[in-house]
Amino acid sequence: MGANTERDRDGSGLDRYWRRRVWALAGVLGAVGLLAWTCQGGSGVAGKDEPGRPAGAAEGTRPPPPPSAMPTVTVTTTTTPAPEQADGGPCDRGDLVVNMSAAKNVYTGSERPEFRVTVVSTGEGSCAFDTGWLDVRITSGADRVWSSTKCRKAGAPKATLRRGIPYVDDVVWDRRRDCKGAVRARPGTYVATLKGAKAKKQIFSLR
């Protein structure tokens, strides 16, 4: 009986030794498996939710900051109105548009050359116009033949001009070389010029 008891004691001790080794090995394997599962699960979640990308790329996708408000600049332009022409005052020659035209280009027999002078005011209001400075001169080359101002029988009249309403003066040359002389101009080519105004010259012929 003593021998059997010793064998049982020795056998049970050996069994306990192996059982402890098995449980220790199982614990180690369980810990390793748990650690592997934890690492795999964490990386899998990160892979599903958001793919990895460089930090620089993440910074590049950020929207640009809104532009700062610029100050508003207001420019005010002040226009000084031109002084109006006082009614009844003298006309400013810079406001006058003067033209001259001829009735014909060729005059025969006893026909008298006739020229129409028009003056239009572009100024405001009305103004007094002195018709005396409108001088129609007839020349032939360097020869001064006739002057309407010099041969005017009466004093130059005053005219009141209103904006856009023309003043009209018809000047007729009687073909005499002088106001009181009896010498008549010879047939040929002559030029009528409106002295003191930028009007077109009129070239005509006497026959």
Q: What is the pLDDT of residue 130?
A: 87
Instruction: Please check the confidence at residue 3 and state whether its pLDDT lies above 50.
Output: no
pLDDT for residue 192: 97
Name residue, tokens 């900051």. Answer: 65
Comparing 111 with 23, which gets the higher pLDDT?
Answer: 111
Q: By three-state DSSP, how is residue 170 classified?
A: strand
Whole-number pLDDT of residue 62: 66
Interatomic CA distance for residues 167 and 129, integer angstroms: 9
DSSP the chain: -HHHHHHHHHHHHHHHHHHHHHHHHHHHHHHHHHHHHHHHHHHHHHHHH-----HHHHHHTSPPPPPPPPPP-------PPPPPPPTTEEPPGGGEEEEEEES-SEE-TTPPPEEEEEEEE-SSSEEEEEGGG-EEEEEETTEEEEETTTT-SSPPPEEEEEBT--EEEEEE--SBSSSS--PBPPSEEEEEEEETS----EEEEE-
- Which residue has better confidence, 23 or 98? 98
Per-residue pLDDT at 47: 44
What's the whole-number average pLDDT of the chain? 77
140's tokens: 């032939």
Q: In the numeric block, which tokens belong to residue 173?
A: 């040359």
pLDDT in tens, 83-142: 554 466 899 988 999 999 999 999 999 999 999 999 999 998 899 998 888 899 999 999
Q: Which of 8-22, 124-138, 169-183 bottoms out in mean pLDDT, i.e. has the lowest? A: 8-22
Q: Give the per-residue pLDDT at 5.
A: 46
Q: What's the pTM?
A: 0.55
What is the separation of C-alpha 18 from the centre of its chain, rounded to a whole number of angstroms? 103
Please compute the mean of the pLDDT values over residues 165-189 and round it to a whole number: 90
89 - beta bridge partners?
127
* pLDDT tens, residue by residue, 41-59: 554 444 444 445 554 544 5
Question: Residue 31 has what pLDDT?
Answer: 72
pLDDT reported for residue 93: 87
Percent of the chain with pLDDT over 90: 40
Residue with tokens 């979640």: 45
pLDDT band of 32, cuts 50, 70, 90: low
Q: What is the per-residue pLDDT for 198?
A: 83
Could you tell me which of 148, 141, 197 has the C-alpha nearest to residue 176?
148
